[in-house]
Amino acid sequence: MATAARIELAIEGALTAHLSEDCPPRLAAAVRYAVSPGGARIRPRLCCAVAAACAADNPHIVDAAAVSIELLHCASLVHDDLPCFDNADLRRGKPTVHIAFDERLALLCGDELIVMAFEVLAAGAGSSPERLQALMRVVGRSVGAPNGIIAGQAYECEPGVDLRAYQQAKTGALFAAATEAGAAAAGEPASAWRQLGSRLGEAYQVADDLLDVCGHVGDIGKPTGQDRLHDRPSAVQALGFDGAMSRLATLIDNACESIPDCVGREPLARLVRAEADQLESRLRRLRAAA
Amino acid sequence: MATAARIELAIEGALTAHLSEDCPPRLAAAVRYAVSPGGARIRPRLCCAVAAACAADNPHIVDAAAVSIELLHCASLVHDDLPCFDNADLRRGKPTVHIAFDERLALLCGDELIVMAFEVLAAGAGSSPERLQALMRVVGRSVGAPNGIIAGQAYECEPGVDLRAYQQAKTGALFAAATEAGAAAAGEPASAWRQLGSRLGEAYQVADDLLDVCGHVGDIGKPTGQDRLHDRPSAVQALGFDGAMSRLATLIDNACESIPDCVGREPLARLVRAEADQLESRLRRLRAAA
């Protein structure tokens, strides 16, 4: 089965398992709404790509790792969109959870997604408890303090922020978890794969900053110009458009160079470059149209 | 070491491990503030008491289970206190997290506590991966959908609510996790211990409803009269003061009868009765003074 379809199936399986009939219906609806239809599912795809490059032997564990990372990503979007942070009305082209439901359900929806992520890991790694422990370590670290995405978001509550530390925690951490979890799900040492995820996470954050200045809401499904509006640190603000584009290219090069030796090293590097090329073309097109 | 001191030490260990120097300082401060000084620590004490009754052989796993449950409890308090739910100013005799810090940090603080709870479990059950899986299942189920504390809180967002289902999820679930996790940490089958936790959770919720009508803020460290103010379902509203007191006594009887055969059955039953007697005396004293 193609990776994208497999990921959707695994996500649907997790939702069905947890949002059963005896779940409060509005909570169930809010969680489904936050997760499906999704965005590019870039983190779970990356996780599956690394697992494949490592010749993973157990697809259930890989699926569990990929789904858990996507659920944590969705949780962070729902909570970051809340009025106390971004106060965003639109996400993935539709009203944010607190607009479509209410603030209470958005709060609980994010909480539920975090818990579900760990439950999915525990259930999926059932046949291999020692892999469960490695996955829990990798995934937990990427979300929690001191360096995970929650800490990344918390930098917005600090008076002075180092752009690199902020972006590394806010975006890089979950990308690093995606590559590390892909390896851990295959029973390989995770840490060798950290660099690839971190670089791709940085690249993704730079791309997101670029989209924020040159995209339109209709192109990217969420309001643009938010970094300037909220006075948030941004690669474009720091480096200019061309500087940020050049930084993006360097990060993709570094990412590909960092891929550890494994049976699927070359196909994985080609996949990363193909996705990056698509993204760069899209950014140049949007910039030209702006 | 006495259980209470041991729990505080284990909690402090978890905080120190996660809130290291490179954690955003305000997030670290908010998390510490939410957890210490704590309340009665009744859930982790219950977890440790069950583990002791089961003659647990590994104190690290027991500590991890107890701490994880307390952190999840603290997370639920921080999020339930937020303006969109209870809008509470006071908790454990001091300003709530969103008052002492701000709403953003209260949101992230709750998220961080949920993640930390699972990280603590994974780290603590290191020497025994098969126990980790049992613990993850027990703890995850008590927090997440469809029947955990998040679902319990979500019943407040539904138009009509069954009092028993609401309280079972909102309070009973984490108590059930405390007893089940105590057994699982000792390597015993968890499900036999579910009944004890559920009954004690129901009892605790009834006691909380009673405190809400007859306590004063100075006695219980949080504002009283909240159930009526927020039009929340309550045992006192349904059964009256005496009816609720009688229900409390029945639940404690049922709880003690449900304790499975184990080496420490009798001491555990005595402990439960002693705590319940103290609580009932306190409620009668407060009622007389009201």
- DSSP label of A84: T
Chain B contact set for A136 (CB, 8 A): 118-119, 121-122, 132, 136
What pLDDT does residue B125 have? 87
B155, pLDDT greater than 80: yes
Confidence of residue B197 (pLDDT cuts 50, 70, 90): very high
What pLDDT does residue B272 have? 95
B31 near A CB under 8 A: yes
Shortest CB distance from B111 goes to which of A18, A132, A150?
Answer: A150
What pLDDT does residue A232 have? 73
Mean pLDDT across chain B: 92
What pLDDT does residue B160 have? 77
One digit per residue, the tens of pLDDT, for chain A of length 290 reads: 689 999 999 999 999 999 998 899 999 999 999 999 988 899 999 999 999 999 999 999 999 999 999 999 999 999 999 999 999 999 998 999 999 999 999 999 999 999 999 999 999 987 788 899 999 999 999 999 999 999 999 999 998 777 778 878 888 899 999 999 999 999 999 999 999 999 999 899 899 889 888 877 666 677 777 777 777 778 888 899 999 999 999 999 999 999 999 999 999 999 999 999 999 999 999 888 87
**Whether the predicted interface score ipTM is above 0.85:** yes
| Residue B180 burial by Cβ neighbours in a 10 Å radius (0-12, 13-18, 19+) | buried
Q: Do residues A170 and A155 touch, judged by C-beta distance below 8 A? A: yes
B9, pLDDT greater than 70: yes
- Smallest CA–CA distance from A98 into chain B, residue: B84
CATH number for position A176: 1.10.600.10
B82 min Cα distance to partner chain A (Å): 9
B217, pLDDT greater than 80: no
What digits encode the pLDDT tens for the residues B21-45? 889 999 999 999 999 998 889 999 9
- DSSP label of A271: H
- Smallest CA–CA distance from A112 into chain B, residue: B144
What pLDDT does residue A103 have? 98
- What φ, ψ does residue B90 adopt, rounded to 5°? -130, 140
Q: Please judge whether B151 and A103 are an interchain contact, meaning their C-beta atoms are less than 8 angstroms apart.
A: no
A216-221: long-range pairs with CB below 8 Å, 24+: A216/A286, A216/A290, A217/A90, A219/A286, A221/A39, A221/A90, A221/A91, A221/A92, A221/A93, A221/A94
B19 near A CB under 8 A: yes
Chain A contact set for B150 (CB, 8 A): 27, 108, 111-112, 115
A126 near B CB under 8 A: yes
DSSP labels for A248-269? HHHHHHHHHHHPPS-TTHHHHH
Q: What is the 3-state secondary structure (H, E, C) of chain B?
A: CCHHHHHHHHHHHHHHHHCCCCCCHHHHHHHHHHHCCCCCCHHHHHHHHHHHHCCCCCHHHHHHHHHHHHHHHHHHHHHHCCCCCCCCCEECCEECHHHHCCHHHHHHHHHHHHHHHHHHHHHHCCCCHHHHHHHHHHHHHHHCCCCCHHHHHHHHHCCCCCHHHHHHHHHHHHHHHHHHHHHHHCCCCCHHHHHHHHHHHHHHHHHHHHHHHHCCHHHHCCCCCHHHHCCCCCHHHHHHHHHHHHHHHHHHHHHHHHCCCCCCHHHHHHHHHHHHHHHHHHHHHHHHHC
B18 near A CB under 8 A: yes
pLDDT (average), residues B153-170: 84
Chain A contact set for B119 (CB, 8 A): 136-137, 140-141, 144
Q: Do residues A69 and A175 touch, judged by C-beta distance below 8 A? A: no
Q: Do residues B174 and B143 touch, judged by C-beta distance below 8 A? A: yes
Q: Do residues A203 and A49 touch, judged by C-beta distance below 8 A? A: no
- Smallest CA–CA distance from A141 into chain B, residue: B119
- As for how many domains chain A has, the answer is 1
Range of the domain at B32: 3-289
B163: which residues sit within 8 A by CB, 6+ positions away?
B233, B234, B235, B238
B51 near A CB under 8 A: no
Shortest CB distance from B107 goes to which of A84, A146, A151?
Answer: A84
| Residue A268 burial by Cβ neighbours in a 10 Å radius (0-12, 13-18, 19+) | buried
Q: Please judge whether A104 and B122 are an interchain contact, meaning their C-beta atoms are less than 8 angstroms apart.
A: no
B227, pLDDT greater than 80: no
Q: What is the pTM of this model?
A: 0.94
Whole-number Å distance between alpha carbons of A236 and A144 = 27
A vs B: CB pairs below 8 A? 185
Chain B contact set for A110 (CB, 8 A): 111
Whole-number Å distance between alpha carbons of A116 and A106 = 15
What pLDDT does residue B237 have? 87
Shortest CB distance from A22 goes to which of B25, B126, B147?
Answer: B147
What pLDDT does residue A16 have? 96
Q: Do residues B119 and A143 touch, judged by C-beta distance below 8 A? A: no
B124 near A CB under 8 A: no
What digits encode the pLDDT tens for the residues B48-84? 999 999 999 999 999 999 999 999 999 999 999 999 9
A100 near B CB under 8 A: no
What pLDDT does residue B224 have? 77
Interface of B with A in 150-179 (CB under 8 A): 150-151, 153-158
What pLDDT does residue B212 have? 87
A60 near B CB under 8 A: no
What digits encode the pLDDT tens for the residues B261-274? 999 999 999 999 99
pLDDT (average), residues B116-128: 92
Whole-number Å distance between alpha carbons of A107 and A83 = 11
A44 near B CB under 8 A: no
